[in-house]
Chains A and B, each alone.
Chain A
Amino acid sequence: MNKKLGALALLGASAIVLAGCSGGGTPASTDGATAGFDPAAAKDQNITLWLMGGDTPDALRDYLKTEYKAATGGTLTIEEQSWGDALTKLTAQLPDSKNTPDVTEIGNTWSPTFTTAGAFADLSGIYKDLGGSDLLDSFVKVGEVDGKQYALPYYFGSRYITYRKDIWDKAGLSVPKTLDEFNADVAKLKTPEQSGFYIGGQDWRNGISWVFANGGDLAKKDGDKWVSTLSDEKTVEGLEQFQTLFKDASNAPVTENDSTPWVNINNDKSGAAPTAATIIAPGWAHWSIGDFKEEKKKDDGTTTEVREWNDATFGVFPLPGNDGKPAPVFAGGSNIAISAKSTKQAGAKELLRIMFSGEYQDMLGKNGLGPANTKHVDSLGDDIFAKALIDSALNSKLTPAAPGWAAVEGQKILEEFFGKVAAGGDIASLAKEYDTKINAIING
C-alpha cells in the first residue's frame, strides 16, 4: 500500500510541477488545437495511441500503423491499456506532456470528467471533416463542452439477449414481445440447477435496462447541477422489477458482475447441461457461445475453448420494452480524444483523419464494432447478430454526462447499490441513502 500511496503522491506532485510550468507556455498548443489539419507539421511525428482492452482487432491496429506511416512518415506506437487501470493511468499521465499518449481511446461514460477538466484538445476545427453530424450523436454529446467537441465517438456496442432455443421450446415458450412477458418467461425457466435468466446482483450495467424501460434514470440535470434520481418513482419501479427478476429467475450470486455469462449458457465441454437458459451480453460474446469444437493452445501456453454457433440451439433477440420498441439498454462503446498536453497535435489529428476514413469505419463494422459514422452502419452486415446489435443500439442510452460520473463508477457505488437491491434490501431507503452518496460527488 505504501508503494501505491507513494506513487499517488508522486503523480500528484508531478502534476503540480507541470501545471506550474505550463502556466507560461500554453498558448502554442491552444493555437494548434482550435485550428484544422496541419499535414506539414505532422511530417515525421512519432505518436502514441492508447487503446483500451483487446476490443480493436490486430488487423485494424496494423492498418492504422501502415496508413499513419504512409501519411506522415512517422511511426505510430499502439499501447494497450486494460480497462481496469485505464482510469487511473489516464488521470496520472494525461497531465504530463512527457508521458501523455497523443491520442487515447476512453470509456464513453468517463468523457465528461476529462473534457470538463480540460484534459483534451479542442476538435471543433476538424469535427466537420471527420464526419460532423453523421457521427453517432449521443457519443458526440457526451464529449462536448459549451458546443465544442473534445472527444468523438470511436465505436459503439450494445447488449442483447442470447437464449437457449432448445430449453425455451421444451417449456413451450416463444420469443417474448414485451418486457413483462420476458420477466414472466424467464422466471418459469428457473430450477435449482438452471437460471432462467442469469444476471449477477452487482451487474448494474445490465440491470439498468429495467430502470430505463420503466422510464427511470440514474441522474438528471437540474439547472446546471446534476442530481441523482434513484428515488424517483419510475426508477424505483424499475428497481423493484429488477429485484423480483433476480429473485425469481437468477441463481447468480448477489456479488457477481457482468463478467463471463456465456460460460453459463454453453453446455460444458463434456456435454453437461448449461446453468442458464438466457443471458444478456455484449454483441461480441457470440464468438464464445456455441457447441464445443476443440481446445486450442495459444502462443502463451494457455488453452481456450473453440465454440461454434449453432442456430438450432441458440438464438438472439433485443431485450423487449413494454412500448413495442426494444428496451433501452446501456450503450457500450468508446470515445477517442487527443491529449491537450500532447506536443504532437498535428500528427494526432492526422491519425484521427485515418480513423474516421470510410475504409476504417467499414473495417470496424466488419469486426462487429459499431462504426462511429452512422453512414457506415451497413458494414455490420445483416446476420442475426448485426440485426440484434443495431436494433438494441437504436434505443440505447448513456450514463449521465456529469463531471463526477467517473468517480461514481470508480468508487463502485452502483455495484454496491444494485447488490443490496438484489439481496432483497428495502429499495426506498437504499435509494435515498445512495442518492446522498452520489449527489456528494456527481458534480465533480
Chain B
Amino acid sequence: MATATTTPSRRSQAPRDDGTRKRSFVPYALLLPAVIILLFGMGYPVIWQFYISFHKYGALQQLGGKPPEFVWFDNFVAVATNPEFWAVAIRSVLFCVITAAVTVAVGILLALLMKKVSAAARLVLQISLLLAWAMPVVAAMTVWIWLFDRRRGVVNYLLDKIPGVDMNQYNWIGGAPIVFFAVASIIVVWMSVPFVAFSVYAGLTQVSDEVIEATELDGAGGGQRLRYIYLPMLRPVIAIVLLLNLIWDLRVFAQITMLQDAGPQSTEYDLLGTYIYKLGVGGLNFGQGAAMSIFVLALTIALSWFYVRSLLKEDEA
C-alpha cells in the first residue's frame, strides 16, 4: 500500500532534480506568467481590500464626497463584536462541513458504482454526471427553484401523492431556515458530486488488479476490500477533493443568493458570502465588508491548513 502512494510522488520529483542540476533558466521563465497573472489578478485587489478594511469607507467615500479616513482596527472590532456576524460564521462552517462531507461520501459511492456496472451503464452514468457538472449555475438554480416551488413544485406534488403525507403547499425555500439550508445543501451536493465521483473513479482505476485478485484469494468481502484496500489507497485523492469542496462550500454565493431571491431576505438565511455582500455592498459599508472578507480568508486558510500540511507530509514521505 505504502509503495503505491509513494511511487507517483517520487516519479514526479525526478524531473525537478534534473532541472536544478543543469541550473536551467527555463522553469523559472515558465513560472513567470502564472506568477504575474496571480499578482495582478489577486494581489492587487487583496492589497486594496486590506487598505479599505482599515478605513471608514462607505457611500460618501466611494462617490468622492469625503476622503477615506484611517480608523485602525475599528472595522474589525465592529465585526468581531457583532453577534449576528458570529451566528452567520458558525452557520457557514456547519453548512460547509456537512455539505462537503455528504458530497464526498456520495461521490465515492458513485465511483464504486461506476467500477461495478457494465460498460454501457457506466457510460450513461458518466454522461449524466458530466451534464450535471457542465450545467451553468443560473440555469440549474432556476430549475431547482421550480422543483421546490411551494405551489407548483414537482417535489411537493410527488410527496403529496404518498398516502398519509400532507405536503401540499409546503414551503421549502421560505419556511424554516434549517429547511432552506437543507435544500441549498442538496443543490450544492448535486452540483459538486460529479467532480468527486470522477476524481475518485480515476483513483480507483489506479488500484492494480493483482492486489484485488489477491484479496479475493484471501477471501475478503466487499466491505473489507473497501475499508482495507480502496479507501487507504484513495486517501490522497479523497483528501484533496474534500479540501477543495470545503473551500468551495465555505464561499458558496450564487446558489444562496438565488434561493433568497425566491423568497427569504432575512439575515437568518444568510451564509458568509451573502452576508458580506448584504452588509458591504448592499449596505454600502465597504470597510466592514472588507474586514469580514479578510476574516473569511483567514478561516479558509485555517480550515485547509491541516489538510495542506498532511498533503505536504505525504509528498515528503
Shortest C-beta distance, A413 to chain B (Å), equals: 8
> Which residues of chain A come closer than 8 Å to B128, judged between CB atoms?
none
Q: B278 to A411, Cβ gap below 8 A?
A: yes
Bits for B196-213, please: 1 = Cβ < 8 Å to A, else 0.
Answer: 000000000000000000
Which of A112-120, A127-135, A217-225 sits within the interface? Answer: A112-120
Q: B174 to A254, Cβ gap below 8 A?
A: yes
Known contacts A9-B52, A411-B282; A255 and B265 CB within 8 A of each other: yes
A2 at interface (Cβ–Cβ under 8 A)? yes
A6 at interface (Cβ–Cβ under 8 A)? yes
A16 to B1, CA, bound (A): 57
A126 at interface (Cβ–Cβ under 8 A)? no
Q: B296 to A1, Cβ gap below 8 A?
A: yes
A341 to B44, CA, bound (A): 25
Bits for B166-196, please: 1 = Cβ < 8 Å to A, else 0.
Answer: 0000010111000000000000000000000
Shortest C-beta distance, A21 to chain B (Å), equals: 11
Known contacts A87-B282, A91-B62, A407-B284; A8 and B289 CB within 8 A of each other: yes
Q: A94 to B63, Cβ gap below 8 A?
A: yes
Q: A13 to B64, Cβ gap below 8 A?
A: no
Q: Which of B274-303 contact A (CB under 8 A)?
A: 276-286, 289-290, 293, 296
A15 at interface (Cβ–Cβ under 8 A)? yes
Q: Which of A10-39 contact B (CB under 8 A)?
A: 10-13, 15-16, 18-19, 22
Q: A410 to B283, Cβ gap below 8 A?
A: yes
A84 to B65, CA, bound (A): 24
Specify which of B45, B276, B286 is in contact with A6 (CB 8 Å cutoff): B45
**CB nearest neighbor in B for A94:** B63
A232 at interface (Cβ–Cβ under 8 A)? no
> Which residues of chain A come closer than 8 Å to B175, judged between CB atoms?
253, 255
Bits for A241-255, please: 1 = Cβ < 8 Å to B, else 0.
Answer: 000000000000111
A420 at interface (Cβ–Cβ under 8 A)? yes
Which of B5-13, B29-37, B53-61, B307-315 sits within the interface? Answer: B53-61
Specify which of A1, A88, A406, A420 is in contact with B266 (CB 8 Å cutoff): A420
Q: A116 to B60, Cβ gap below 8 A?
A: yes
Bits for A86-124, please: 1 = Cβ < 8 Å to B, else 0.
Answer: 011001001100000000000000000110111100000
A88 to B263, CA, bound (A): 21
Specify which of B273, B284, B296 is in contact with A91 (CB 8 Å cutoff): B284
Interface residue tally of chain A, by bracket?
A: 35 or more
A370 at interface (Cβ–Cβ under 8 A)? no
Specify which of A257, A411, A444 is in contact with B59 (CB 8 Å cutoff): A444
> Which residues of chain B come closer than 8 Å to A15, judged between CB atoms?
61-64
B19 at interface (Cβ–Cβ under 8 A)? no
A254 to B266, CA, bound (A): 10
Shortest C-beta distance, B252 to chain A (Å), equals: 8
A278 at interface (Cβ–Cβ under 8 A)? no
Most buried by A among B45, B58, B272: B45
Q: A114 to B266, Cβ gap below 8 A?
A: no
Q: A406 to B59, Cβ gap below 8 A?
A: yes
Known contacts A407-B283, A407-B285; A412 and B64 CB within 8 A of each other: no
A416 at interface (Cβ–Cβ under 8 A)? yes
Q: B251 to A1, Cβ gap below 8 A?
A: yes
Q: Which of A368-398 contact B (CB under 8 A)?
A: none
B158 at interface (Cβ–Cβ under 8 A)? no
Q: Which of A185-232 contact B (CB under 8 A)?
A: 202
Q: A411 to B174, Cβ gap below 8 A?
A: no
Shortest C-beta distance, A29 to chain B (Å), equals: 12
Known contacts A19-B67, A113-B59, A410-B283; A6 and B42 CB within 8 A of each other: yes
Q: A118 to B263, Cβ gap below 8 A?
A: no
> Which residues of chain A come closer than 8 Å to B285, judged between CB atoms?
407, 441
A4 to B150, CA, bound (A): 31
> Which residues of chain B come closer than 8 Å to A18, judged between CB atoms?
64
Specify which of A4, A12, A275 is in contact with B286 (CB 8 Å cutoff): A12
> Which residues of chain B come closer than 8 Å to A362, judged between CB atoms?
none
Bits for B24-54, please: 1 = Cβ < 8 Å to A, else 0.
Answer: 0000000000000000011011111101100
B267 at interface (Cβ–Cβ under 8 A)? yes
**CB nearest neighbor in B for A415:** B265
Q: A416 to B284, Cβ gap below 8 A?
A: no
Most buried by A among B64, B171, B277, B283: B64
B236 at interface (Cβ–Cβ under 8 A)? no
Specify which of B42, B59, B66, B263 is in contact with A407 (CB 8 Å cutoff): B59
Shortest C-beta distance, B97 to chain A (Å), equals: 17
B153 at interface (Cβ–Cβ under 8 A)? no
Shortest C-beta distance, B3 to chain A (Å), equals: 39
A171 to B196, CA, bound (A): 60
Q: A1 to B283, Cβ gap below 8 A?
A: no
Q: B276 to A9, Cβ gap below 8 A?
A: no
Q: B65 to A410, Cβ gap below 8 A?
A: no
Q: B171 to A10, Cβ gap below 8 A?
A: no
Q: B266 to A415, Cβ gap below 8 A?
A: yes
Shortest C-beta distance, B88 to chain A (Å), equals: 13
Q: A253 to B265, Cβ gap below 8 A?
A: no
> Which residues of chain A come closer than 8 Å to B59, judged between CB atoms?
91, 113-114, 117, 403-404, 406-407, 444
B133 at interface (Cβ–Cβ under 8 A)? no
Q: B63 to A95, Cβ gap below 8 A?
A: yes
> Which residues of chain B come closer than 8 Å to A95, judged between CB atoms?
62-64
A5 to B126, CA, bound (A): 35
A404 to B173, CA, bound (A): 30
Q: A8 to B174, Cβ gap below 8 A?
A: no
A180 at interface (Cβ–Cβ under 8 A)? no
Q: A1 to B265, Cβ gap below 8 A?
A: no
Specify which of A10, A16, A275 is in contact with B44 (CB 8 Å cutoff): A10
Pairs across A and B, CB under 8 Å, 19 listed: A1-B273, A5-B290, A9-B290, A10-B44, A12-B62, A15-B61, A15-B62, A113-B284, A117-B63, A202-B266, A257-B263, A403-B60, A410-B281, A410-B284, A411-B282, A412-B266, A415-B265, A416-B266, A441-B283
Residues of A bordering B, CB below 8 Å: 1-2, 4-13, 15-16, 18-19, 22, 84, 87-88, 91, 94-95, 113-114, 116-119, 202, 253-257, 275, 341, 403-404, 406-407, 410-412, 415-416, 419-420, 441, 444
13 additional contacts, CB 8 Å, given A1-B251, A117-B60? A4-B281, A6-B41, A6-B45, A7-B45, A9-B47, A9-B49, A13-B45, A119-B64, A253-B150, A403-B59, A407-B282, A415-B265, A444-B60
- Which 3 residue pairs of A and B lie closest in terms of their CB atoms, listed nearest first? A255-B174, A410-B282, A117-B65
